[in-house]
Structures are given as C-alpha cells and as structure tokens.
Amino acid sequence: MTSNRGKLAEFRSALAPLGIEITHSEEECDEIQADSLREVVLSCLDQLKGKGMRDIVIDDSGLFVHALNGFPGVYSSYALRTIGMDGILRLLDGKQDRSAHFECCIGASIGGEEFTVSGRCDGTIALAPSGEEGFGFDPIFVPSGYYRTFAEISITEKNGISHRGRAIQAFAAELRGRIDEAPR
Amino acid sequence: MTSNRGKLAEFRSALAPLGIEITHSEEECDEIQADSLREVVLSCLDQLKGKGMRDIVIDDSGLFVHALNGFPGVYSSYALRTIGMDGILRLLDGKQDRSAHFECCIGASIGGEEFTVSGRCDGTIALAPSGEEGFGFDPIFVPSGYYRTFAEISITEKNGISHRGRAIQAFAAELRGRIDEAPR
C-alpha cells in the first residue's frame, strides 16, 4: 500500500478485526491522466502487478467541485500544489453553487481477485479556509450537516464521515463477504 | 502519430523536404500525471513501443502560467474542459505578473533511436479572450512582441513563432543531423 502514515493507521484499525494485516510499500506507480479515480486506481494496480507485487491495496482521492465541472478531481494534488486553496476560492468567487464532494477509491488485488470500492462525502466549499487539522483541501471543505470544515473536526470524527472512512468501511465489508464465501 | 489534422499538416510540411513521410495513427497511450511534458511523452513512447509500434512521433503541449506555479501545464486540456479560459482569467485577477509560456515536446523513436525536442513560446495572458483562430487557450495568449492573441493571427504566422512550430523546426534539424551522420 503506497500512502501516508495516517492513512495506514486508518486502514489498519478497520481491517484488524478481519485478521488482515496491512503493510506499507514504497513501490510506486505512474498515475495516469483520466477523468475518474477508478481508472487511475485500476491502471496503478495493473502496473504494480506487472512489477510482480501480489496482494495489493491502493487508494486515490480527489475533491470534485460541481460548479467547476468536477475540477480539480483526479488532479487535486497538482491543483493544491499550483493554484492552492486560494485558487479554488477564486474560481468560485460570485458563484451561487458551492457544492462539492470528496471521493476516495480503493482498489485491491487479493488472492488473484481484483475489485474496487468507493466512498463519497458531500459538502460545500467554505468562503475562506479555516482549521488546522487534516491536510489537502480540508480547510475549505464543510461536510454536509456540519458548520465546521474537515480541518476543524477531530480525526476520529472525520474518519466516521469522510470519503476515505466510508471507502474503508465498504472495503472491509467487501472483504468480509469474500472471506465468508471462500471455500474452507 | 496521434494528433489532430492541423498538427499533422504542420509536421508534414516540415518533414517533406527531408524525404520523411508521416502518417496518422489511432493508437493511444495513457498520459501519466507528471510535472513535465517530457515525462508524459517518454512514458507514451514506451507504451506505444510496448504495443509493437515502430518509428513513432508524438507530441504534447501545455500552457504554463508563471504566477500560478506553472498551472495548468501538463493538465492544460483537462483545465480547459473544466474551468476553461474564464478559470485562468479568474485565477490571475488582480495579479501583476501575467507572464506565461506555451511549451511543446516532441518525442520520437526512429530506427531504434529515441529522442525528444522541445519548443517554447513566451507571452502574456490577455485580460479577456479575443480572436477565433487556433484552439485551446489561444484566445487568451499574446505571444511576446505581439499585441494580438494566438487566436487573432493567421495559422501561418502562428506556426512561425509558436511552441509547436519551434519544436517541429528543432525536430526537423535533429532528424537532418541524424540523417547526415548515418552510415551510407
């Protein structure tokens, strides 16, 4: 799994009850230019399998702003690095529709079987950045039902409602189903 | 060569004097997420060679806005599709530095040898779109030394100064050198 430490801990705590252990790998793949996270994740799985890796779990996330036709989406990390949160706020200046969603796609190749699951968190782009928690675009994203940004709520609270938290839950459920179905 | 018809004509007229004929291919490659056009082009060459193609010429271009840390760069076509020219203008609103450059990278694998050349055109982002010629971000790009945008000058004039025109000239020069050096 190629990711940061916080993500790794989140995956671990969700998968430990299933008796599944997860480790971090430095192995990298080229992320392709595609319009959906799922395409990026599937291409990355292919590349890692091509390098001889087995039993792989990877994930990719993005912020999709509806009034910007889904921008920055799959290219969120590039947009953060270049135009930043300020850029997103400028692009939305004066627009009525500030709705957006975060999406996380997890792809796995386990025991020769490949599958993907997704998690989504709907919300609104704030008028200004606020908060110190989290990372990425968290300070400008207010999840539906909240008055605070992702960067203003605790990591535990965020994991319960976030796109990644939901994707990890879906992933654990999928794995549980596959373990139950497996011949003994 | 995977590209549009206008580009194909431009390549053809530059390479015909060298006795080199160029045809269009529908074969595609996945463009990777990278910070430089050269990385995208090299990855694409690799993929096409992996599909058994020989004697390949490909190109990729982008608009790099300096005050936006090079955004949209390698992701220019995605940015055009989502936030559009209006998005670039919004991001630059109130900024003093409106300098930018277009870059074109051509990569080739010919007779087993692989090389890349680049062409660059410096200029300024206009205050508003103007002109009907060209495509992409042409209506908001004023090349250095001009008062008109790329979309307001003729295609012939544009080819003489554009990033792609310059890359094609560099490509033709490189090929000429390689032909001269080749054993007879």
Phi, psi angle pair for A45, to nearest 5°: -60, -45
| C-alpha pair distances (Å), B8 with each of B38, B62, B151, B162, B173 | 20, 18, 19, 15, 18
| CB-CB under 8 Å, A73 with B83 | no
pTM of the model: 0.81
- For domain A5-118+158-181, say whether CATH 3.90.950.10 is its number: yes
How confident is the model at residue B88, as a pLDDT?
97
Among the residue ranges A54-58, B23-27, B148-152, the one predicted with the least confidence is B23-27
How confident is the model at residue B168, as a pLDDT?
93
Cα separation, A42 vs A111, whole angstroms: 16
Q: Which of A30, A40, A91 is the closest to B91 by Cβ?
A: A91
Gyration radius (Cα) of chain A, Å: 17
Indicate whether A173 pLDDT > 80. yes
Q: What percent of chain A has pLDDT over 90?
A: 60
Cα separation, A74 vs A124, whole angstroms: 18
How confident is the model at residue B30, as a pLDDT?
83
A80, A74 contact by CB (below 8 A):
no
**Helix, strand and coil percent figures for chain B, each rounded to 5:** 45, 20, 35
A69 chain-B contacts, CB cut-off 8 A: 81-83
- Comparing A42 with B16, the larger pLDDT belongs to A42
Cα separation, A153 vs B122, whole angstroms: 45
B34, B40 contact by CB (below 8 A):
yes
Structural fold of domain B5-120+164-178: Maf protein (3.90.950)
- Count how many residues are written for chain B: 184
pLDDT tens by residue, B56-100: 999 999 999 999 999 999 999 999 999 999 999 999 999 999 999
CA distance A35 to chain B (A): 9
Indicate whether A153 pLDDT > 80. yes
Indicate whether A167 pLDDT > 70. yes
Q: Which of A70, A75, A82 is the closest to B68 by Cβ?
A: A82
Indicate whether A6 pLDDT > 80. no
How confident is the model at residue A1, as a pLDDT?
42
Phi, psi angle pair for A113, to nearest 5°: -100, 140
Nearest CA in chain B to A69: B82
DSSP tag of B132: S
Cα separation, A153 vs B27, whole angstroms: 48
Task: Count Cβ atoms below 10 Å from residue B150 Cβ, excluding itself.
Answer: 29
A31 chain-B contacts, CB cut-off 8 A: 32-33
Catalytic residue among A35, A46, A60, A122: A60
| C-alpha pair distances (Å), A155 with each of A113, A144, A169 | 32, 17, 16
Average of per-residue pLDDT across B149-158:
91
Mutation to test the B interface, candidates A2, A31, A33, A61, most B Cβ within 10 Å:
A33
| CB-CB under 8 Å, A90 with B79 | no
Active-site residue set of B = 60
| CB-CB under 8 Å, A31 with B31 | no
**What is the three-class DSSP state of B141?**
strand
B74 chain-A contacts, CB cut-off 8 A: 33
- Contacts across the A-B interface (CB distance below 8 Å): 67
Token couple for A133? 């928690």
Q: Is the peptide bond before A72 cis (omega within 30 degrees of 0)?
A: yes
pLDDT tens by residue, A23-56: 888 788 888 888 899 999 999 999 899 888 888 9
| CB-CB under 8 Å, A82 with B69 | yes
CA distance B81 to chain A (A): 8
How confident is the model at residue A112, as a pLDDT?
84
A90, B77 contact by CB (below 8 A):
no
Q: What percent of chain A has pLDDT over 70?
A: 96
List Cβ neighbours of A157 (8 Å cut-off, separation of 6 or more): none
B93 chain-A contacts, CB cut-off 8 A: 90
Helix axes B163-181, B5-15, angle to 10 degrees: 40
Q: Where are the domains of chain A?
A: 5-118+158-181
Q: How confident is the model at residue B1 (pLDDT cuts 50, 70, 90)?
A: very low
Nearest CA in chain A to B69: A82
